[in-house]
């Protein structure tokens, strides 16, 4: 099983385990609360039935004292569903009905002594019954004991029904939590999977890009070591080694920049700066390359634009864009830079008359190591420049957009948030 699959399974099991723990605590608490409430309701029912029995016993005593003939027995006529009614004298002898179990008589004697008694008893048929007994005075102040017995089986039935309902709901909830938890885990780990795939591609591309200059350096060094010393030839070899070393250094530097950017280790200064000044520095840095390639580098509109950011990184961003424009523009072409400030944005536009980019490749130009069609591979670089440019733009809250027509040129627009300038810039 792959590590990511194991991670997903482990997280899902954690979700299920935590849910079961919470469900167990809630279920236990609910069962205790319901059990306590139902028991209280049963006790209240027993006390109410006892009160009714006491009232009937008093009516019975009064009617027997007044009647001269046969009268109906109020205790016999009292019927309470699922309740057994008993009337005792203080000695624990049953009056109504004529017989009672020994444990009921013991409870009656206890109630005669203490005033009341509550007992639970397990019958021979494995039923738990609940008894409540009270001592009271009849109509002629004669003491009696009234006892009411209820089968706790009704409580057990309620508990069993509650457990079944809770278990069914818990099972459905568990299935839903397990399914939804797995879906959430997959969604939450998708960025990790994409990051791992991105890292694998990045490592493979970096190894591929580094292999070529390293191989050339080693090959030239081995060839030079195997030849007799010749000043002219050695100078050419050392020059080639120096160029490959510089290219290798550029690739390593760009990789280090992206690695620090990904790790958030590159501190970004937040200072007020003028975009037109930084753009002028970038143009000066690229002018020598443009002249070497016989490309006209023009500066068009150059409005004053104040932004907040890191001057070194903004300069690097503009150099990358200008450098790409020069590299992919044939000799005799031209590259133009314009700066405008309007609608709260400071925009830099770099337009060239180069080879252009096919429409299907435009969405991928910011990918690391992507250099498009083979004709663009002839330019120096490892395909990391625009990836760095996009990172710098995003770090400054800017937006970078590329539009291109194959054979006609490319237009890059970078829009920075414009700062309000309380005072005009001093002339330099």
Residue 282's CATH number? 3.30.565.10
The backbone region for 367, taken as left when phi is positive above 0, alpha when psi lies in -120 to 50, beta otherwise, is beta
Tens digits of residue pLDDT in 147-184? 999 877 666 666 677 777 878 888 888 888 888 888 88
365 belongs to a structural domain: yes
344 belongs to a structural domain: yes
DSSP structural state of residue 341: E
- Quote the pTM value: 0.51
Question: What distance separates the 2 farthest-apart alpha carbons in the chain?
Answer: 152
25 belongs to a structural domain: no
17 belongs to a structural domain: no
Q: How far apart are CA 153 and CA 155, in angstroms?
A: 5
Residue among 26, 268, 340 at smallest CA distance from 169? 26
Residue 164, CA distances (Å) to 31, 34, 169, 284, 391 in order: 12, 14, 9, 81, 58
Q: Per residue of the chain (428 residues), what is the pLDDT tens digit?
A: 567 778 778 888 888 888 888 888 887 887 788 778 878 888 898 999 999 999 988 888 888 777 655 556 788 888 888 888 999 998 889 998 888 888 899 999 999 999 999 988 887 777 788 899 999 998 778 899 999 998 776 666 666 777 778 788 888 888 888 888 888 888 877 777 777 776 776 666 666 566 767 777 788 788 888 888 778 877 888 887 887 787 777 667 767 777 776 666 667 878 999 999 999 999 999 999 899 999 999 998 888 888 999 898 999 899 989 998 998 999 999 999 999 988 888 999 999 999 888 888 888 888 876 766 544 444 555 667 888 888 889 989 999 999 998 888 999 999 999 887 555 555 54
User: Is residue 86 a contact partner of residue 108, using CB atoms and an 8 Å limit?
Assistant: yes
46 belongs to a structural domain: no
Query: Domain span at residue 279?
Result: 271-417
244 belongs to a structural domain: no
Backbone torsions φ then ψ of 7, nearest 5 degrees = -60, -45
Residue 338 has, within 13 A of its CA and on its CB side, a CA count of 11
**Number of domains into which the chain is organized:** 1
Q: How many CB atoms are closer than 10 A to CB 67?
A: 10
79 belongs to a structural domain: no
140: its two tokens: 């002629």
Q: Which residue has the tokens 């019927």?
A: 79
354 belongs to a structural domain: yes
């Amino acid at each position: 099983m792959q590590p990511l699959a194991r991670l997903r399974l482990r997280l899902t099991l954690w979700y299920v385990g935590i849910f079961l723990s919470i469900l167990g605590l809630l279920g236990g608490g609910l069962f205790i609360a319901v059990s306590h409430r139902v028991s209280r309701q049963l006790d209240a029912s027993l006390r109410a039935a006892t009160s009714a029995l006491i009232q009937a016993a008093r009516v019975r005593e009064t009617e027997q004292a007044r009647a001269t003939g046969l009268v109906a027995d109020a205790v016999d006529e009292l019927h309470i569903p699922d309740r057994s009614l008993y009337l005792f004298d203080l000695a624990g002898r049953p009056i109504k009905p004529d017989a009672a179990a020994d444990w009921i008589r013991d409870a009656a004697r206890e109630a005669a002594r203490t005033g009341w008694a509550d007992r639970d008893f397990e019958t021979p048929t494995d039923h738990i019954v609940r008894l409540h007994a009270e001592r009271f005075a009849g109509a002629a102040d004669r003491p009696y004991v009234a006892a009411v017995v209820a089968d706790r089986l009704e409580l057990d039935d309620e508990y069993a029904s509650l457990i079944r309902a809770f278990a069914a709901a818990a099972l459905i909830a568990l299935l839903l939590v397990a399914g939804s938890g797995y879906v959430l885990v997959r969604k939450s780990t998708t960025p990790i999977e994409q990051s791992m795939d991105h890292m694998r591609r990045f490592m493979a591309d970096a190894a591929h890009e580094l292999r070529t200059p390293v191989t050339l350096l080693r090959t030239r060094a081995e060839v030079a070591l195997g030849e007799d010393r010749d000043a002219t030839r050695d100078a050419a070899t050392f020059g080639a080694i120096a160029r490959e070393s510089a290219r290798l250094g550029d690739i390593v530097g760009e990789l280090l920049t992206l690695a620090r950017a990904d790790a958030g280790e590159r501190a970004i200064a937040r200072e007020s700066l003028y975009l037109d000044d930084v753009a002028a520095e970038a143009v000066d840095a690229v002018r020598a390359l443009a002249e070497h390639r016989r490309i006209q580098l023009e500066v068009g509109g150059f409005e004053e634009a104040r932004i907040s950011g890191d001057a070194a990184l903004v300069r690097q961003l503009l150099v990358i864009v200008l450098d790409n424009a020069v590299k992919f523009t044939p000799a005799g072409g031209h590259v133009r830079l314009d700066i405008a400030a309007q609608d709260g944005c400071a925009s830099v536009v770099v337009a060239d008359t180069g080879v252009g980019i096919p429409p299907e490749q435009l969405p991928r130009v910011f990918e690391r190591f992507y250099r498009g069609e083979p004709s663009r591979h002839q330019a120096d670089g490892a395909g990391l420049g625009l990836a760095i440019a996009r990172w710098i733009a995003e770090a400054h809250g800017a937006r970078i957009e590329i539009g291109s027509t194959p054979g006609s040129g490319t237009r890059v627009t970078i829009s920075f948030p414009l700062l309000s300038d309380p005072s005009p810039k001093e002339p330099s």
